Amino acid sequence: MLYALEARHAPVVSLWVWYHVGGRNEVPGTTGMSHFLEHMLFKGTPKHPKGDLDRLLARYGAQWNAFTSEDVTCYFETVPKARFETALELESDRMRNALISVEETEAERTVIVSEREGYENDPSFLLGEELQAIAFSRHTYGQGVIGSKDEIKLMTRDGLYSHYRRFYAPNNAYVVVTGDDEPERLIEQAAASFGTLEPSHDLGEPPKAPEPEQHGERRVTVHRAGGTLPIVMLAFRAPRATDSRAAAISALAVALAGTSTGSDGASGRSSRLHRALVETGLAADVDASFQLMKDPFLFLTDATLRPGVKHADVERVLVDELSKLSTDLVAEDEFARVRRQLLASTAFNTDTITWRAYRCGQLLSTGAATSIGDWYAKLAAVTREEIREAAAGLFVERSRSVGWFVPEGDAS
């Protein structure tokens, strides 16, 4: 699938390749395989040995990288317009021809372990990983993305290569291009690069492990010395991106925590959780998020507590605030603020060529919308009643998972 958008304000083109493979395609014993594979795609092909195209892209000042999520693995390059062909050459070549040698697999294994160890230094990661694990009993979303350290250590070259050959193919990818040219021309160039590649004959059916309904609250407590401030996280079962409530739930996240600019940000301070927890001195920071996902995932809220504040007190306020949204309509002036933030943030992101392409790919790959304009229209159409309905459907005690991070004394 090819998709192109025009963006004429700078002489650059951003190319994104979205593969339908991520943490959800893994089984216990191979968790982290999609992410490991993402690293291996930077290790060269027969035509372009390792470092060859890296250096070429560096010469062009390219912004390029990759990421893996539960649903997808994604690669992108933003390059000067004149270098678009190089980006296409890189991506089309590595779609089917990556080497993935035994030697490079071994060399990269320690890098990935190091990446995971970096995350482990962060108490929010440790708690989030545990909470995601208890929130799912069947669906592979519970495994996360990076995989366990032990399984990263056990990953084999042959396993990675077989995963690669199965999922990296034109019939399992979205290619999204945004940039300084006619969309037809951008598509034509992309089609010439990817159109002749061999499809995968082994895609099989998408993973099916429907998560059964949850019938009671689940709780997890992480005790570690690696953090000083307590954290409370609440996770509620949330619908998939294609659900008709997805836009209203996105608005719900903004009503709760604004469009975040980080803990020192000046914006989002009129949001409900900021007022109820930060302004009252209970929390140093709050957040709420809803991700557009292929399968039902989670609506997450979290608070980093001020020193000395009790978890239970913050959890109670969080639950109360969510409950209010489930029962009462947001006031007209609050709704106007939420709506404005929601729509403005769409414009902010898509005014950058790289992120316009990302947003488009995200909407297409999850099925949330058929275009950025379509998603904007869905957000613009959200009503106060829909926000209340969405909250009432989400914030139910029996489908809640609660996580506490409890700082401990020096464990050394």
Partner 1 sequence: MNRVHRSVLANGLRLAVVPIADLRSTSVLLAVEAGQWFEPVGRPGIARLVAQTMLRGTARRDAAAWASELDALGAVARLDVGAHAAVFSAQCLGDDLSALLALIAEAVRTPALADAEVEFVRGQTLARLEKDERDTRAVSDRAWRQLVYPTGHPFQAPAIGDAEVVRSATPAEIRAFHKSAIASDGAVLVVAGGTTAEAAKDAVGRAFGDWPKRAKPRDANYPQATLATAKRRVELVPDKTQSDVIIGWPGLPRTDPRFTAARVTNMVYAADTFASRAGNVIRDQLGLAYYVFSAIGASRGQSPWIVRMGVNPQNVRRAIEVALDELRKITAGQIAEDDLAVAKDKLVGELDVALESPAGVAAMVLEAEMFDLGEDHFERYPRELRAVTKEQVVETARAFLPPERYALAVAGPALPEALA
Q: Which of residues 393-412 bind partner 1 (CB under 8 A)?
A: 407-408, 410-412
Identity of the residue, 30 or 105, whose beta carbon is nearer to partner 1 in the bound complex: 105
Distances (CA, A) of 1 to 87, 97, 191: 17, 20, 9
9 binds partner 1 (CB under 8 A): yes
Q: Are 56 and 210 in contact (CB under 8 A)?
A: no
Nearest to 340 by CA among 251, 269, 241, 261: 251
Q: Are 190 and 175 in contact (CB under 8 A)?
A: yes
Identity of the residue, 210 or 262, whose beta carbon is nearer to partner 1 in the bound complex: 262
11 binds partner 1 (CB under 8 A): yes
Nearest to 131 by CA among 314, 300, 324: 300
Q: How far is the CB of 1 from partner 1 (least distance, A)?
A: 24
Identified binder of partner 1 from the candidate list 1, 102, 111, 392, rule CB under 8 A: 111
Read out DSSP for 103-157?
HHHHHHHHHHHHHHHHHHT-HHHHHHHHHHHHH-SSSGGGG-SS--HHHHHH--H
Identity of the residue, 2 or 278, whose beta carbon is nearer to partner 1 in the bound complex: 278
Q: Are 77 and 88 in contact (CB under 8 A)?
A: no
Q: Any idea which residue has 């092909």 for tokens?
A: 45
Interactions with partner 1, residue window 66-95 (CB under 8 A): 78-80
Per-residue contact string for residues 212-251; x = within reach of partner 1 by CB under 8 A: ------------xxxxxx----------------------
286 binds partner 1 (CB under 8 A): no
Stretch that binds partner 1, among 46-54, 91-99, 132-140, 155-163 (CB under 8 A): 46-54
Identified binder of partner 1 from the candidate list 66, 96, 115, 159, rule CB under 8 A: 115
332 binds partner 1 (CB under 8 A): no
Identity of the residue, 209 or 343, whose beta carbon is nearer to partner 1 in the bound complex: 343
Q: How far is the CB of 298 from partner 1 (least distance, A)?
A: 24
Identity of the residue, 205 or 410, whose beta carbon is nearer to partner 1 in the bound complex: 410
Per-residue contact string for residues 177-206; x = within reach of partner 1 by CB under 8 A: ------------------------------
E strand or H helix that includes residue 63: strand 63-68
The contacts of residue 284 (CB under 8 Å, 6+ apart) are 229, 263, 278, 304, 305, 306
Encoded tokens for 371: 């275009």
340 binds partner 1 (CB under 8 A): yes
354 binds partner 1 (CB under 8 A): yes
Q: How far is the CB of 366 from partner 1 (least distance, A)?
A: 24
3-class DSSP state of 177: strand
Amino acid symbol at 148:
S
Identity of the residue, 105 or 365, whose beta carbon is nearer to partner 1 in the bound complex: 105
Identified binder of partner 1 from the candidate list 47, 138, 201, 269, rule CB under 8 A: 269
Nearest to 256 by CA among 347, 387, 348: 387
Stretch that binds partner 1, among 68-76, 108-116, 233-241, 310-318 (CB under 8 A): 108-116
Rounded Cα gap, residues 94 and 43, in angstroms: 9
Interactions with partner 1, residue window 304-323 (CB under 8 A): 304, 306-307
Identity of the residue, 41 or 169, whose beta carbon is nearer to partner 1 in the bound complex: 41
- For residue 385, with 0-12 CB atoms within 10 Å meaning exposed, 13-18 middle and 19 or more buried, which class applies? exposed
- Residue count, binding to partner 1 (CB under 8 A): 82
Rounded Cα gap, residues 387 and 385, in angstroms: 5
3-class DSSP state of 94: helix
Interactions with partner 1, residue window 117-136 (CB under 8 A): 117-118, 120-121
Identified binder of partner 1 from the candidate list 49, 110, 137, 398, rule CB under 8 A: 110
Identified binder of partner 1 from the candidate list 102, 192, 329, 344, rule CB under 8 A: 344
Identity of the residue, 8 or 201, whose beta carbon is nearer to partner 1 in the bound complex: 8
Rounded Cα gap, residues 320 and 316, in angstroms: 6
The contacts of residue 192 (CB under 8 Å, 6+ apart) are 88
Identity of the residue, 172 or 350, whose beta carbon is nearer to partner 1 in the bound complex: 350
Partners of residue 289 on adjacent β-strands: 300
Cβ-based neighbour number of residue 158 at 10 Å: 11
326 binds partner 1 (CB under 8 A): no
